[in-house]
Structure 1
Amino acid sequence: MYQKKIPEVLDCGIAVAVKVIGGKWKAWIIDCIRRGVARPSAIHREMEVVNPRIINLHLKELEEMGIVYKEIFAEVPARVEYRLTTVGRSLLPVINVLEQWGNENKEYVNGHHAEYILGNN
């Protein structure tokens, strides 16, 4: 089994939050589920720019952390949907703030920030 050379320290609240929603896609996955996009195939369509294998990996990690749970319906073929747990729902204000910040600063982040770099902010 692989062991990290530097042990993970989760005494800091920011480190815990980043572990849960860090990376490129986890916050987007949580947002999809919040909006009712619950089936893996629907999440894949919603996030078409992301490799489905990566989405599935993140879903598994979120499930292992207790942020989402997988509901399996006894149908043929089996139907799977993801739901937010209570802890997962408690992340929604954080996701909302991240979304708001991103919307307010997307032009800057997308490279239209020469005036800021030059100190004309």
Structure 2
Amino acid sequence: MNTATARYAGHLRTEATHAASGNVIQTDAPTDNHGRGEAFSPTDLVCTALGSCMMTVMGIVADRHSLDLVNSTFAVVKHMSTEAPRRIAQIDVTFTLPAALSPNDRSLLERTARTCPVALSLHPDIKQNVMFEYK
């Protein structure tokens, strides 16, 4: 079974449909690459997928250890290469997690995040700069 199907909508946009849920996401080329920047670009999705995957696996571990990560957040900054070929050069992900987490829990969650499936699937030339704040 397909994971997703997609169609080119014209004007550098795609619409992808998740097969299991029917959820739809749209992409648009970024303004620095002939697009309007009115939706996630494909490279934005890659970077956001890294943060989402890290948060998801931390959530799995947190549930297993009865830790509450509800309302934790992350922010992503994408850095594109300045030389050809155009590609993602670096992804900065900053997590804000609860200050009440113990040092052992923090270490466990940070280790878990860094070994998520997306992190392990990205090309090794893409620098992953992952930071954790506790508030």
Q: TM-score, normalised by structure 1?
A: 0.26
Q: Compare the two structures and name the one with the higher helix fraction.
A: 1
Q: Compare the two structures and name the one with the higher strand fraction.
A: 2
